[in-house]
């Protein structure tokens, strides 16, 4: 099968080369009166020929690697076709390469001990181990046999980790200031294991009031590594909300109705920052004697797996109470400042968020 595919590629390559030479000759003849045009065509056609040759080499290498993997898989399980009933799985070891410390394959491995050492059982074991790997978020990693020659029922597996090569913006390296600032506060995933839960954290940070973003996993030139590509759409206008409610406990003349204004803005610094301002005012018939209003300003800044939040708030009121002989007035003002730092200690499904609040 591999030889047939290789021959087809050889024919394709020869056909492309012949077409290229024919086109080169025709173009050269039509432009022979202009030496500069001839030289430009020569350089362009030379580059096209090199690109065709490079793609041919890549395709041939792919077929050779695929054929080698198929031959290894056949030889790996050839030993258990002799006597599947007499051989049992006695030991299962998985080499993590010192990575993925939170992974535990023991529960899966224990279920397969003393089972028949057959092709069907081994394939199912690999499938279950891979499912656990994917559920843990390592969707670009894989599990394979470490030692193709199975002896005495001892199965040795190795995890082939998928890593992050680079983080791109719209398919390219970040060049603009806002894009560089956007990436600066994201979790540093370069050369780290690619985990889908880390990508979820990135998506949560990137999507703000003034920016929508999505992250996709794309192939890279590095073996066993992928690039994360961010597609983002920005807008410059704040989100303004004006509302009226009747949350008060008394009648309309005594503050039942309240108007509130909320303004949300983000990416003013370019660092996925979030800003919000809100205020509320309650309506009274005698507004000079009775008042109630509040203000709040908040700033949220993500920093990798941590989030820093600063909130300033003020609330004031003034209320008049009619007594038997006089009018009594009460008033008050409350000002608070809150500093909150939260950090994600682990990824789902056992996510733990630690937070510290500081209230002066």
pLDDT score of 147:
78
CA distance 15 to 333: 85
Report the pLDDT value the prediction gives residue 57, as an integer from 0 to 100: 55
75 token code pair: 């030889």
For residue 182, the tally of other CB atoms under 10 A from its CB is 24
Q: Where are the alpha helices (DSSP H) in 136-216?
A: 177-184, 196-206
β 225-234/163-169 pair status: parallel
What does the pLDDT read at residue 282? 87
Task: Provide the pLDDT for residue 71.
Answer: 55
In this prediction, residue 257 carries a pLDDT of: 86
What stretches in the chain show pLDDT beneath 50? 1-6, 9, 12-14, 16-33, 36, 49, 52, 55-56, 59, 62, 66, 69-70, 73, 79-83, 350-360
Contacts of 124 (CB under 8 A, 6+ apart): none
pLDDT the model gives residue 347: 61
Portion of the chain with pLDDT greater than 70, in percent: 69
pLDDT at 102: 76
pLDDT of residue 250: 72
Q: Tally Cβ neighbours within 10 Å of residue 259.
A: 14
Separation of alpha carbons 310 and 341, rounded Å: 9
**How far is the C-alpha of 4 from the C-alpha of 71, rounded, in Å?**
16
pLDDT of residue 345: 81
The overall pTM is greater than 0.85: no
């Amino acid at each position: 099968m591999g030889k047939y595919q290789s021959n087809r590629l050889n024919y394709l390559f020869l056909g492309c080369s012949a077409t290229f030479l024919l086109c080169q000759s025709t173009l050269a003849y039509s432009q022979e009166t202009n030496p500069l045009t001839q030289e430009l065509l020569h350089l362009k056609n030379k580059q096209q020929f090199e690109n065709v040759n490079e793609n041919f080499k890549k395709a041939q290498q792919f077929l050779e690697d695929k054929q080698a993997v198929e031959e290894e898989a056949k030889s790996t399980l050839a030993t258990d076709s002799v006597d599947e009933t007499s051989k049992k799985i006695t030991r299962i070891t998985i080499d993590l390469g010192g990575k993925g410390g939170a992974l535990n394959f023991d529960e899966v491995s224990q279920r397969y001990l003393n089972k028949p050492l057959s092709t069907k059982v081994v394939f199912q074991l690999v499938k279950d181990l891979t499912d656990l790997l994917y559920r843990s978020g390592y969707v670009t990693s894989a599990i394979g046999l470490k030692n193709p020659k199975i002896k005495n029922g001892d199965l040795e597996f190795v995890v082939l980790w998928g890593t992050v090569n680079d983080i791109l913006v719209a398919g390219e390296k970040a060049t603009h200031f806002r894009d560089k600032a956007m990436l600066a506060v994201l979790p540093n995933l370069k050369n780290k294991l690619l985990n889908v839960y880390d990508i979820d954290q990135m998506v949560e940070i990137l999507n703000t009031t003034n920016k929508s973003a999505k992250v996709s996993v794309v192939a890279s030139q590095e073996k066993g590594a992928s690039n994360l590509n961010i597609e983002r759409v920005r807008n410059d206008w704040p989100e303004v909300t004006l509302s009226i409610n009747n949350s008060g406990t008394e009648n309309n003349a005594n503050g039942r109705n309240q108007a509130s204004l909320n303004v949300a803005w983000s990416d003013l610094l370019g660092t996925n920052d979030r800003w919000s301002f809100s205020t509320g005012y309650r309506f009274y018939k005698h507004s000079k004697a009775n008042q109630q209003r509040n203000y709040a300003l908040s700033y949220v800044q993500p920093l990798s797996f941590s989030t820093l939040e600063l909130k300033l708030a003020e609330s004031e009121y003034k209320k008049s109470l009619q007594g038997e002989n006089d009018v009594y007035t009460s008033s008050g003002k409350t000002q608070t400042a809150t500093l909150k730092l939260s950090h994600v200690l682990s990824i789902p499904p056992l996510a733990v968020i630690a937070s510290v609040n500081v209230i002066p």
